[in-house]
Amino acid sequence: MRPNLKDMESRYNEKQVQILSVAERLFSEQGFSGTSVRDIAGAANVNVAMISYYFGSKEKLLEAIFDYRISSTAIQMEHLLAQTHVDPFEKIEMLVDHYVDKLQNNTCFFKIMQSEHMKGHGNKDLDGIIFQSKKKNFDLISALIAEGQKKGLFKKNIDVSLMVSTLVGASNQIYIGQQYYKRLHELDDMPEEKFQQLLKKRMRVFLKNMFKAILTYEL
Amino acid sequence: MRPNLKDMESRYNEKQVQILSVAERLFSEQGFSGTSVRDIAGAANVNVAMISYYFGSKEKLLEAIFDYRISSTAIQMEHLLAQTHVDPFEKIEMLVDHYVDKLQNNTCFFKIMQSEHMKGHGNKDLDGIIFQSKKKNFDLISALIAEGQKKGLFKKNIDVSLMVSTLVGASNQIYIGQQYYKRLHELDDMPEEKFQQLLKKRMRVFLKNMFKAILTYEL
DNA sequence: AATTATTAATTAAACGTTTGTTTGAATGTT
DNA sequence: AACATTCAAACAAACGTTTAATTAATAATT
């Protein structure tokens, strides 16, 4: 699965994008420590020294990937939920669609994010970046939930953190483990593109129903 | 967070358990590639050579961790869902309780599992072990769902894979990211033990309600 | 427009560490 | 005596990063 190049081409030149893109893919496949700068340089067809030259270090290369990817997604989410004329249920649907899209188009980055998230206390800078991103999502979705509750559409006593973790965790788990989904459902013969469409459709339906259920279901 | 020692003490001697236990913790904190055999040896207070001596290689040490942890959990799950006199709703509750318990007592291993799951095509042996474990869980839960549907308790058209992924993904996400949960809810001052209890209780309620909702909610 | 001066990009080679693993001798246990 | 354990030391290979020399591109000066 290849990273989404287009978004990177503004701040960095062609060669830098090449390095960032390759690094993103390799980090996602082999982990940060499991990927050497020589792996990256080799796959990106550049000299090893270019990585230090452009990014300073391997660590800072990772930060560069995070820095951009996070800022680009946070803005879109804010935009999405700011629309006042859309009713809360529809916003939930938009939220799910948006997240699934992002996940499908940035699978590599989401994997890296999940990895770094698990390590925790590794890189202080990264930890800050990740927390800020989580906080923003939490606040945005909290507001959405509150709006729905105020209008009497959603039930009371909703733990937003658990809800967001469920969206993120469930989606990532499904996406990351899509090869298992394929094998379990004996879909190995299906062409890759068809399978991606199928998975996306099923995920959307499933997640939307799940959230409607969570938000309205009373014992 | 320390690994759960007790389960390992049958097959391995004291020193081996010491190594396995320390390795499990370090792998979960720093990743497999991010942890050196000298890190492990140092933290376990044994000579570096002991790791090769007892386990053959770093890779096989990881496999040893997997081998045991997986087999010990699979059996319990089977036992749990085999009870014929318990109704499907109650089984769902037991399933959630069991999973949350396992997760809380084996957080280290679950992290490693998640990491290896993400890398995918790394270690062939491990891939097989993980898939078999997933398949078993899938089959067991499929049977449970079918039973509930047959009795008219659950709705039709439930995608078991997505449901299992949701349980696993959501729970892991919450647990792995519990430091964020703490910070977002301003629970930093709460004693660790109290917080663990709180989180466990909230997770159980949340997951149970979620599954009941998923299994019964119609548009 | 041609030449020079300046900066940027690129390279192969080398740097000192750290990596996983092995060795062979020493010690403990049966 | 035979076997299992432990150890410091050594191994080659891989690691991230730097160096110093060279080429390419850009700016400045004639």
Task: Return all residues near A30 (Cβ < 8 A) that are at least 6 apart.
Answer: A39, B33, B119, B122
Query: A111: which chain B residues are within 8 Å (Cβ-Cβ)?
Result: 118
| Residue A71 reports pLDDT greater than 80 | no
C-alpha B86/C-alpha B76 separation (Å) is 16
Task: Return all residues near A114 (Cβ < 8 A) that are at least 6 apart.
Answer: A172, A176, B114, B118
In a domain, B73, yes or no: yes
Structural domains counted in chain A: 1
Quick one: tokens of A59?
Answer: 């660590």
User: Helix, strand or coil for residue A84?
Assistant: coil
| Cβ atoms of residues A216 and B212 within 8 Å | no
Tell me if A31 and B29 make a contact (CB, 8 A cut-off). Answer: no
Task: Return all residues near A199 (Cβ < 8 A) that are at least 6 apart.
Answer: A174, A175, A178, A181
Q: Give the closest-approach CA distance of A156 to chain B in angstroms.
A: 13
| Cβ atoms of residues B4 and B106 within 8 Å | yes
Q: Which residues of B5-16 are buried (b: 16+ CB within 10 A; e: fewer)?
A: eebbeeebeeeb
Chain A contact probe: residue of B33, B92, B162, B183 with most A CBs at under 10 A:
B162
Of B184, B177, B206, B182, the residue nearest B194 (C-alpha): B182
Query: A184: which chain B residues are within 8 Å (Cβ-Cβ)?
Result: 134-135, 138, 161
Q: Nearest by CB to B184, which of A138, A171, A180?
A: A138
pLDDT per residue over A93-126, tens digit each? Answer: 999 999 999 999 999 999 999 998 888 766 777 8
| Residue A165 reports pLDDT greater than 60 | yes
Residue A76: predicted pLDDT: 80
Angle at B107 between CA B110 and CA A203, to 5 degrees: 45
pLDDT band at residue B72, thresholds of 50, 70 and 90?
confident
Quick one: tokens of B94?
Answer: 């037991």
Q: What is the CATH number of the domain that holds B207?
A: 1.10.357.10
In a domain, A132, yes or no: yes
Q: Among A103-107, A193-197, B124-128, B151-155, where is mean pLDDT lowest?
A: B124-128
| Residue B218 reports pLDDT greater than 60 | yes
Give percent above pLDDT 70 in chain B.
94
Domain of A148, in residue numbers: 65-215
**Number of alpha carbons in the 13 Å side-chain half-sphere of residue A98:** 16
Q: Among A74-88, A113-127, B9-23, B201-215, where is mean pLDDT lowest?
A: A113-127
Residue A219: predicted pLDDT: 65
Query: A34: which chain B residues are within 8 Å (Cβ-Cβ)?
Result: 31-33, 119
If you average pLDDT over residues A56-66, what whole number do you get? Answer: 95
